[in-house]
A and B are shown apart, each in its own frame.
Chain A
Amino acid sequence: MIRPVWMLLVLWLPLAAYSSDVPLSALGELQLAYTPVTGVTEVPGPAIRAQVMHRTGSQYSIQLPRDVRRARYLVRNGEQVVAGQPFVVLEGPEIHHFLLEFEAMDRRYRSAEARYERNRASYEQQALAEEQWVAIVDTYLALQLEYEHMRHFMELVDPPQDDVESITLHTPISGFIEYDHRQTALLAGDDVAGFVAPDDLRLQLLVPMQNADRLSGVQLAGCRLDIDELEGVARGFSLVAWSEAIHASCGVQLNRIVSATPLYRQDAYLLPRSAVFTWQEQAHVLLRGEGVLQLAPVSLLQPVGDDYAVTSDTALAGRAVLSRSVSAVQGVLMGLGGE
């Protein structure tokens, strides 16, 4: 004997393909479960390349005034240091020469300065020929420039010890130190180290061009950063974006290349993956209604854990979607089992 519910089902099935609602009574003993839909304003995208960097010009670098035979760094490359912290010991006979040179320079500068001061009065009194005065001034200024240059460097040098063959430099600012440990020789003019202030440390992101204008943030493990700037010049297939300063909690190292999850501005809904099925060439979900399941088309954006971020013309927020036995309902819509 056919139960009334099955008679109903048999009568209803041929029409199912043309209807957008599925009566719950037609679903027999199928186990149904519903999950509430939540709204979101940001949707994550596939991982992109990111590098912990500083923008051009934001690094405080220290250049060597003279060649150095040996440098012994006291801190790890990339370590966070505080201002005044010793970070490198420069060693070698040239250090002694350098100190002597600085002493000599100091004396020469003082002498030039004294000469300059002395002759200035004579010049003001027109007791000194113009050409002579110009030569004195040139010499003085040249020595001053050279001296100041050496003095600035010497300001970073800890007070000299007995050992005149080494000097210890301390950090000019607080931040992350960066030096090139692969260099075989340190020559005059080379950077002995660079320092990046913590608030200058950012993520440089290569963002797929098509989504770049919607990029609102980036997610690292346990750490979210907003986007500070999107450059206008493309690099290959991508645009470069800069995050805000990296939070200490992010725990990343300078220059490190990481995969980061971009977050795009998008009003979307999160619903379980198991709720989505394809019907008439379009992704759909089934919304719980009064005694019926209502078909609602959705556009799939991205997977988010076990969920999908979707958009839909139907307002889904606050609604519940069928998340179990969905394929059986799909079969019902296709007319399967309606013998």
Chain B
Amino acid sequence: MLKQLVRFSLTQRLFVCVMALMLAGLGLRAWLNLPIDAYPDIAPTQVKVILKVPGMTAEEIEQRVTYPLETELLGIPRQAMLRSTTKYAITDITLDFVDGTDIYWARQQVNERLAGILDELPFAVEGGLAPMSTPLSEMFMFTIENPDLSLQDKRQLLEWEIRPALRTVAGVADVNVLGGYATTYQVTPHAVVLSELGLGIAELEAAIVAQNLNAGVGRMLLGNDVLVVRVEGQVHSLEALEDIVVRSGPGGVYRLGDVADVAIGHLARYGAVTRNGEEAVQGLVIALRDSNTGAVVEGVKARLDELAQTLPAGTEINVFYDRARLISTAIGTISSALFQAILLVVAVLTVFLGNLRAALVVSMSLPLAALATFLLMSGTGLTANLMSLGGLVIAIGMLVDSSVVVVENTLSRLNQDTGLPRLHVVYRAAQEVALPVVSGTLIVIIVFSPLLTLSGLEGKLFTPVALTIVYAMLAALALSLTLIPVAASLMLGRQSAGMPRFMLRLQGAYESALERVLLRPRGMLLGIGALLAVSAVFLLLMGKTFMPVLDEGDLIVQLEKSPSISLPASVELDRQVGAALLAGVPEIRQIVTRTGSDELGLDPMGLNETDVFMELLPPDEWRFASKSQLEGEVRKVLEGFPGMNVGFTQPIQMRVSEMLTGSTGDVTVKVYGEDLMQIANLMQGIARTIPKVEGAVDVQASVTEGGKFLNLEVKPELAAAHGLTVEGLSEYLRSQIEGTVISEVRQGKRRIPVTLAAGSQTVAVPATVADLAARSVALPDGSLATLGDVASLNYAEGPLLIERERGSRFGVVTVNVEGRDVVGFVEELREVLAAEVSLPAGYRLEYGGEFENQQRATRNLLLVVPVALVLILLILFATFGSMALAGIILGNIPFALMGGVISLFLSGEYLSVPASVGLIALLGVAVLNGVVMVSHFQQQRHLPGRLPARICAGASQRLRPVLMTATTAIFGLLPLVFASGPGAEVQRPLAIVVVGGLLTSTVTTLFLLPVLYQYREKRRHD
């Protein structure tokens, strides 16, 4: 079949050329339309349920909402993890489904269960499924700037002008609104007046609700026409709201304005935002899952540009986070590496082939294979990102291998000058190598197949790498058997076929060196053995980590303050920290801090938690050489602010960590148990112990305990006498303390909630317990009492935060690791905690975070790589019909790996998943080189002459392809080794491993393999 393919291509050269042009065109189109993102979609199929229960404590919500809902949700099939975080007034339940689960099916399942139980949940529960986004969906953040607008105006502008406009952009799931004040029409009843009128709060509320609406009546016949009749009562202004009649009778008509203060107020604030020390309003664009980030950001920007003319004069949209910037920087880094790699590979080919035309023929496969890969990526739904494009860069060196083999053989055949027509020579040359080319490609594909079995984060990251490599290799293979022979037949002649002079000299030198080695192999064997031992020691000493941290270009500092802190106090500290950082670190362009929860509840932080988002200047404007030095400077400034826990992260890194483990940090120690106080004590003990382990920084024990509540117990005998119920009292008090939304006023597209709330000029919000106890309460029977008269007030302690996983409560201590590897750190940490922290019965620890991913990746690879090796062994056995020869080729692998390990150690990088992928790639190259060498020995086995001389001659003839394969791969990866921009961090360890490994594997292929082959042949003859 392969022969037919080659023959067809050579007989239909025009058709092949046209097909190549079409491939180029379609590939180019695919590239231009390919969704672009920084990372592949790493989120599992995840459904979030966010429920808000105003006024309820964490423990109460856990009992009345989280626990029943979890019980219901636990029954959903295909779920991998059920996690919940319950805080004051909110519970956030996250369900991860097993990979491959359809997100719409998953959401439907969750929705059904939720709908089934909603009636059993407390009346005040509001919320439901969160938008269909992933943790990477936060792609565009901005603040509204206008010195003439108040925070309320800015919030209204964002909420009612900008947000609806942005939500119409394709791919936008929602726009989260943070900070500022949500305007309300606030009704503050006068308890005394209500009591005089015998009006209860419920009646007041009912009067407002009943009158603030329009009702349809029907149609009335007017002769031959109809007239629509409706009742209009909807109010549109504060004044109209004041005029609503709440009591009418012999005593007179009482309007809302007579019994209450009606004024513009705001909803209770659960969070705030500051920008450069001033309170601000922030918009956060959340993209739909599977949307094209680049296109969404572009759409958002275009819509904002359109809106700019309609916004109040002087309004500026200050963008402080734009994922497109990271994408363009990261993709730019990789694209530049790709471009450089192509140039270097072409240069190397020209040098080795000694012929520009031959080099051009081979190089033709590079852009076309890349374009074909884009076409396949587009067809299979892969996005262009750091990982998939990185895969292409890794493959560049290997892409040319099959074309090199075809062209090199064509040149050799042309060189022999058999007198046959050129087209026929090309056909013979191509069909001769077709089978080895296919099996070589097959081996490379098998080598990378273990990556397709990785699960979890590493699977999501490296599957695109493996797929891209497979696509590229298949495309290169197809091109090498179709277009390349056609191009060779058109561009190569007999004059192109000579061997370059330097290559002839190199062959001579190699032959004499190999001859000496074959005569006295012991010295070389000892040398290589020693190097292998050294690499083994390096491997043991080397730090291990999951993944190098991608420099996202921005920095986030997470602050954790006293758990009982109020929002104004928290914002005040944020202001101070922001101002100090701006003054002390000029590399910061602007600082946006976010405290507390967002409106949607996607990230329900407490009032004591702040994310300090720092937009940095471009690195060439820094005083520091690296980001870690800059972080050090930031850390130094933050040391001036005691009383706060500090953690460092980046926008995507933070969300990915939260997605995977529910918390941020390189290492997490989870304490599972039942009693929250006991969990809190254990967490404190662990947090105190962790700093004893070298490398521990940013140790944070999430504050779970320390909530102080005021319990009001209604005096039953009095309550019964005056018709007071617990529900009635709590409704009344909620309106006094937090405010209750009872209706809304519509003004055009704006909807302004009407709230019952204290805080007017005449009725202040209670501010002490004594104040609250002495507050007048209008009882349902019209009498007036103080709260202290009808209820007893007691303090109670309770948890601030309750976290659960698969139905069990847990607390988490997070720690970042600095200056050492994560795996070694965790091993030491386990020992230290086992010695110093004693766990009561029923309590257990689990280690997670980045470490967890690394462990899982290692387990997966240790299982799958041997399987791949066995497969390769089988292919080799099928090729050579000899287990010994297959063994010799496989025996080359450790020597290839040693170069990778040594170079990794010397470069200071850790053994990470990318480095492991590099080692896997090395397997392929080492095996391919071995096949090239050993197959040639086998072909020459029947020639006359002494064995060493035969081996030398054979090896010498294979020197050029072996060196070409190695050097193209090395030069293809060199740009990645030296790339410094964001995005290079992930691929660099891989490139270092492959380059280092190729150096040693080339040496062992050229010298060790002939020695082993000689030894095997001697034994066979003996």
Cβ-defined partner of B569 (8 Å) among A45, A238, A326: A326
Q: Are A30 and B576 in contact (CB under 8 A)?
A: yes
Q: Are A237 and B640 in contact (CB under 8 A)?
A: no
Taking CB atoms, residues of chain B closer than 8 Å to A258 are 192
A302 adjacent to chain B (CB < 8 Å): yes
Cβ-defined partner of A27 (8 Å) among B190, B566, B642, B790: B642
* Chain B residue nearest to A211 in the complex (CB): B774
Q: Are B565 and A330 in contact (CB under 8 A)?
A: yes
Cβ-defined partner of B784 (8 Å) among A26, A210, A236, A337: A236
CA distance A30 to B574 in the complex (A): 11
Cβ-defined partner of A332 (8 Å) among B565, B642, B699: B642
Taking CB atoms, residues of chain B closer than 8 Å to A209 are 789
Taking CB atoms, residues of chain A closer than 8 Å to B243 are none
- A47-B192, A211-B774, A259-B190 given; A328·B573 CB < 8 A: yes
Taking CB atoms, residues of chain B closer than 8 Å to A339 are 645-646, 691, 697-699
CA distance A336 to B645 in the complex (A): 5
CA distance A336 to B644 in the complex (A): 5
Taking CB atoms, residues of chain A closer than 8 Å to B168 are none
* Chain B residue nearest to A44 in the complex (CB): B771
A132 adjacent to chain B (CB < 8 Å): no
Residues 6 to 50 of chain A near chain B (Cβ within 8 Å): 6, 9, 13, 26-31, 45-49
> Which of A112-120, A244-252, A273-281 makes up part of the contact surface?
A273-281
> Which of B293-301, B432-440, B556-564, B838-846 makes up part of the contact surface?
B556-564
- A47-B776, A281-B795 given; A337·B642 CB < 8 A: yes
Cβ-defined partner of A259 (8 Å) among B192, B566, B786, B790: B192
Q: Are B196 and A330 in contact (CB under 8 A)?
A: no
Against B, the Cβ 8 Å flags (1 = close, 0 = not) of A166-206 are 00000000000000000000000000000000000000001
Against A, the Cβ 8 Å flags (1 = close, 0 = not) of B747-782 are 000000000000000111011111100111000000
CA distance A337 to B785 in the complex (A): 46
The range of chain B's interface size is 35 or more
* Chain A residue nearest to B646 in the complex (CB): A337
Cβ-defined partner of A278 (8 Å) among B193, B196, B691, B708: B708
A334 adjacent to chain B (CB < 8 Å): yes
Min CB–CB distance B107 → chain A (angstroms): 39
Cβ-defined partner of B767 (8 Å) among A303, A325, A328, A337: A303
Residues 35 to 94 of chain A near chain B (Cβ within 8 Å): 45-49
B195 adjacent to chain A (CB < 8 Å): yes
Taking CB atoms, residues of chain B closer than 8 Å to A49 are 192, 195-196, 776, 784
Taking CB atoms, residues of chain B closer than 8 Å to A338 are 642
Min CB–CB distance B930 → chain A (angstroms): 52
CA distance A45 to B424 in the complex (A): 108
A308 adjacent to chain B (CB < 8 Å): yes
Residues 293 to 338 of chain A near chain B (Cβ within 8 Å): 300-303, 308, 324-334, 336-338
Min CB–CB distance A317 → chain B (angstroms): 20
Taking CB atoms, residues of chain B closer than 8 Å to A27 are 642
Taking CB atoms, residues of chain A closer than 8 Å to B356 are none
Q: Are B771 and A302 in contact (CB under 8 A)?
A: yes
- Compute the total of residue contacts between A and B using a CB distance below 8 Å: 148
B731 adjacent to chain A (CB < 8 Å): no
Q: Are A31 and B576 in contact (CB under 8 A)?
A: yes
B615 adjacent to chain A (CB < 8 Å): no
Residues 625 to 651 of chain B near chain A (Cβ within 8 Å): 637, 639-646
A164 adjacent to chain B (CB < 8 Å): no
Q: Are B708 and A237 in contact (CB under 8 A)?
A: no
Cβ-defined partner of B789 (8 Å) among A29, A237, A308, A324: A237
B570 adjacent to chain A (CB < 8 Å): yes
Taking CB atoms, residues of chain B closer than 8 Å to A237 are 783-786, 789-790
Q: Are B641 and A327 in contact (CB under 8 A)?
A: no
A154 adjacent to chain B (CB < 8 Å): no
Min CB–CB distance B709 → chain A (angstroms): 12
Cβ-defined partner of A330 (8 Å) among B562, B646, B764, B774: B562
Q: Are B642 and A328 in contact (CB under 8 A)?
A: yes
CA distance A27 to B639 in the complex (A): 10
A137 adjacent to chain B (CB < 8 Å): no
CA distance A286 to B762 in the complex (A): 31
B580 adjacent to chain A (CB < 8 Å): yes
CA distance A319 to B234 in the complex (A): 56
A208 adjacent to chain B (CB < 8 Å): yes
CA distance A259 to B195 in the complex (A): 12
Min CB–CB distance B582 → chain A (angstroms): 13
Against A, the Cβ 8 Å flags (1 = close, 0 = not) of B787-812 are 01110000101000000000000000
CA distance A338 to B699 in the complex (A): 10
Taking CB atoms, residues of chain B closer than 8 Å to A211 are 774
Residues of A contacting B: mostly: mixed
Taking CB atoms, residues of chain B closer than 8 Å to A330 are 562, 564-565, 643
Taking CB atoms, residues of chain A closer than 8 Å to B708 are 278, 281
Most buried by A among B699, B774, B795: B774
CA distance A257 to B568 in the complex (A): 36
Min CB–CB distance A130 → chain B (angstroms): 59
Residues 692 to 730 of chain B near chain A (Cβ within 8 Å): 697-699, 708
Q: Are A332 and B643 in contact (CB under 8 A)?
A: yes
Q: Are B639 and A336 in contact (CB under 8 A)?
A: no
Q: Are B698 and A336 in contact (CB under 8 A)?
A: no
Taking CB atoms, residues of chain B closer than 8 Å to A26 are 642
CA distance A236 to B192 in the complex (A): 14
B572 adjacent to chain A (CB < 8 Å): yes
Taking CB atoms, residues of chain B closer than 8 Å to A302 are 767-768, 770-771, 774
Taking CB atoms, residues of chain B closer than 8 Å to A301 are 768, 770
CA distance A28 to B577 in the complex (A): 12
Q: Are A28 and B642 in contact (CB under 8 A)?
A: yes
CA distance A24 to B776 in the complex (A): 43
Q: Are B771 and A46 in contact (CB under 8 A)?
A: yes
- A49-B784, A326-B569 given; A278·B564 CB < 8 A: yes
Q: Are A331 and B643 in contact (CB under 8 A)?
A: yes
CA distance A326 to B699 in the complex (A): 23
- A30-B642, A211-B774, A337-B643 given; A47·B196 CB < 8 A: no
Q: Are B764 and A45 in contact (CB under 8 A)?
A: no
Min CB–CB distance B163 → chain A (angstroms): 32
Min CB–CB distance A257 → chain B (angstroms): 6
Min CB–CB distance B485 → chain A (angstroms): 66
Min CB–CB distance B258 → chain A (angstroms): 12
Residues 88 to 131 of chain A near chain B (Cβ within 8 Å): none
* Chain B residue nearest to A305 in the complex (CB): B764
* Chain A residue nearest to B786 in the complex (CB): A208
Taking CB atoms, residues of chain A closer than 8 Å to B783 are 236-237
CA distance A330 to B560 in the complex (A): 12
Most buried by A among B562, B762, B763, B770: B562
* Chain B residue nearest to A331 in the complex (CB): B643
Min CB–CB distance B954 → chain A (angstroms): 63
Min CB–CB distance A295 → chain B (angstroms): 14
Cβ-defined partner of A327 (8 Å) among B561, B770, B774, B784: B561
CA distance A43 to B885 in the complex (A): 99
* Chain A residue nearest to B561 in the complex (CB): A331
Taking CB atoms, residues of chain A closer than 8 Å to B190 are 259
* Chain B residue nearest to A307 in the complex (CB): B767
CA distance A18 to B573 in the complex (A): 24
Q: Are A327 and B643 in contact (CB under 8 A)?
A: yes
A-B CB contact pairs (8 Å), 7 listed: A9-B642, A13-B642, A46-B786, A49-B192, A327-B565, A327-B569, A327-B573
Known: A29-B640, A281-B797. 16 other contacts (CB 8 A): A9-B642, A13-B642, A30-B643, A45-B774, A49-B196, A49-B776, A211-B774, A259-B762, A277-B564, A281-B795, A303-B771, A327-B565, A331-B562, A334-B643, A337-B646, A339-B691
Using CB atoms and an 8 Å cutoff, list the residues of chain B in contact with chain A: 190, 192-193, 195-196, 560-562, 564-566, 568-570, 572-573, 576, 580, 637, 639-646, 691, 697-699, 708, 762-764, 766-771, 774-776, 783-786, 788-790, 795, 797
Minimum-distance CB pairs A-B, first 10? A331-B643, A29-B640, A303-B767, A328-B643, A28-B640, A237-B785, A332-B643, A300-B768, A49-B192, A327-B569
